[in-house]
Amino acid sequence: MSWFQFVVKVYYDMPRIEEKKLLKALEDAGLKAVPFNVTREPLPLNGIEEHIPLIRAVSMFKSLYTAAALEANSLKPINSSFTIMYSGDKILTYSILASHNIPIPKTIVSLNGDSTVKAYLQMGFPLVDKPPIGSWGRLVSLIRDWHEANIVIEHRSMMSSPQMKAHIVQEYVKMPSNRDIRCFVVGDECLGCIYRIPQEGEWRSNVALGANVKKLEDSCDACELALKAAKALKGEVVSIDLFEYQDGLLVNEVNGVPEFKGFMRATGMDVAKKVAEYIKGKVKR
Amino acid sequence: MKVKCPVCGAEIELPEDVMDGEIIECESCGAQLEVKKSGDKIELKVAEEAAEDWGE
């Protein structure tokens, strides 16, 4: 089979602009791009024909289990179940990053309300508390006093999911204009980095919460750290969020099924094309 | 292609490149709707609420 006939299946649940752009870019690159809705069809653990899977479900667990089912078929999804699991659960992300000596914010993990009170005492206010699972800034709380602390502890204790009862307690890293940095990595290449600047009245810098974006002109240091984080998480197509700290940069998150609307807006770069070229390169090898 | 909103009955014009599973909003009532596409047949159903594992 020659490379131009190779099938790339895009596994999704709710197609966003990113999935549409990826499907088009793959076709433009001469590959056969096939959309696969993981909520419509089952995934057998053997007998699936050879192809390159690109995992793009909005649901982290749907992405994770899709990648795992495909790996059972000896396929190599982009990204792997390892990358999706270890980037999707932030406790696992920080564990991997810390074990690779990659700088992260000062972090304490606590698994219920009582231990969270002790974690808050150890960290001191202001602090940030977030659950291990979640995205788009959801449930990420800035806690400045015991009044806010008790509300967060109580609300999270009432959530049914065991993951939501776990707390990631972190120092509040005060950054210039509350901005953070997002870098995009494809294979061994860092495509660049952008600032994400929260809109007025918001302290979180997620594009989903209306943050503005601006290209980071000198992205060498950020890219160097992003590539280290991507390698630690074994990520092929990932985005990495960084904080500017007094002593340098910290890695805050790695995204295993990264969105790139904001990155494209800030940089003008065709990310989908870069991903398609990367996949085409893998087929050729 | 035009389909009816299952919530308020308003007619919704779908984009040409609409995909199975895509989430659209009814401009009339604001409902979030999921596209169910099977061959040439397209229908809309009320989309599920955002789940805690949604994101990137």
Which ipTM value was assigned to this complex? 0.88
Which residues from chain A sit within 8 angstroms of residue B20, using beta carbons? 35, 37, 40
B37 assigned to some structural domain:
yes
Question: Would you say A35 and A19 are in contact if contact means Cβ atoms under 8 Å apart?
Answer: yes
Residue B49 touches partner A, C-beta closer than 8 Å: no
pLDDT for residue A4: 52
Yes or no: say if B23 and A14 are a contact pair by the CB < 8 Å rule: yes
Three-class SS of residue A96?
A: helix
Say yes or no: B54 contacts chain A, CB-CB below 8 A. Answer: yes
Crossing angle, helix A90-99 and helix A81-88, to 10 degrees? Answer: 100
Among A121, A147, A171, which residue terminates a domain? A171
Backbone angles phi, psi at A222, to 5 degrees: -65, -45
CA A83 to chain centre: 9
| Domain final residue, candidates A153, A171, A189 | A171
Mean pLDDT, residues A28-49 taken together: 97
Helix axes A146-157, A113-123, angle to 10 degrees: 150
Give mean pLDDT, residues B5-25. Answer: 94
Contact B53, A134 (CB under 8 A): yes
Query: For position A223, which CATH number holds?
Result: 3.30.470.20
* Cβ–Cβ < 8 Å for A251, A241: yes
Residue A190 has pLDDT above 90, yes or no: yes
How many structural domains is chain B composed of?
A: 1
What is the reported pTM?
0.94
Mean pLDDT of B21-47: 94
A26, A53: one domain: yes
The pLDDT score that the predictor gives to residue A3 is 47
Handedness of CA B6, B11, B12, B17 (dihedral sign): positive
DSSP state of A160: S
Within-domain flag for A56: yes
Q: Point out the domain boundary residue: A150, A171, A192.
A: A171
Residue B54, in any domain of the structure: no
Is a pLDDT exceeding 70 seen at residue B44? yes
Bridge partners (DSSP) of residue A109 are: A168
- Quote the tokens at residue B22: 């895509």
A35 touches chain B (CB under 8 A): yes
Does A179 share its domain with A264? yes
Q: For residue A38, give the CATH number of its domain.
A: 3.40.50.20
Q: Is residue A93 part of a domain?
A: no
Domain harbouring A149, CATH code: 3.30.1490.20
Query: Residues A279, A246: one domain?
Result: no
Q: Are B13 and B5 in contact (CB under 8 A)?
A: no
Interface test with B, best of A18, A23, A59 (most B CBs within 10 A): A59
Co-location of A222 and A251 in the same domain: yes
Give the integer Cα–Cα distance in Å for A248 and A245.
Answer: 5
- A98 assigned to some structural domain: no
Same domain for A247 and A191, yes or no, is: yes
- The CATH number of the domain where B23 resides is what? 2.20.28.160
- Of chain B, the end-to-end C-alpha distance in Å amounts to 31
Decide if B56 is inside a domain.
no
Q: Are residues A151 and A67 in the same domain?
A: no
Q: Is residue A100 part of a domain?
A: no
User: pLDDT tens digits, residue range A108-150?
Assistant: 999 999 999 999 999 999 999 999 999 888 999 999 999 999 9
Is A214 near chain B, with CB under 8 Å?
no
Domain of B21?
A: 2-46
Average pLDDT score over residue span A31-39: 97
The residue of chain B nearest to residue A253, with distances taken between CA atoms, is B56
The length of chain B is 56
Q: Tell me the shortest Cα–Cα distance from A115 to chain B, in angstroms.
A: 23
Q: Is residue A280 part of a domain?
A: yes
- Contacting residues for B49 by C-beta, under 8 A, at least 6 apart: none
Number of independent structural domains in chain A: 3
- Summarised one tens digit per residue, pLDDT across range A154-188 is 999 999 999 999 999 999 998 887 899 999 999 99
- Structural domain includes residue B22: yes
Domain range for A118: 107-171
Residue A101 lies in a domain: no
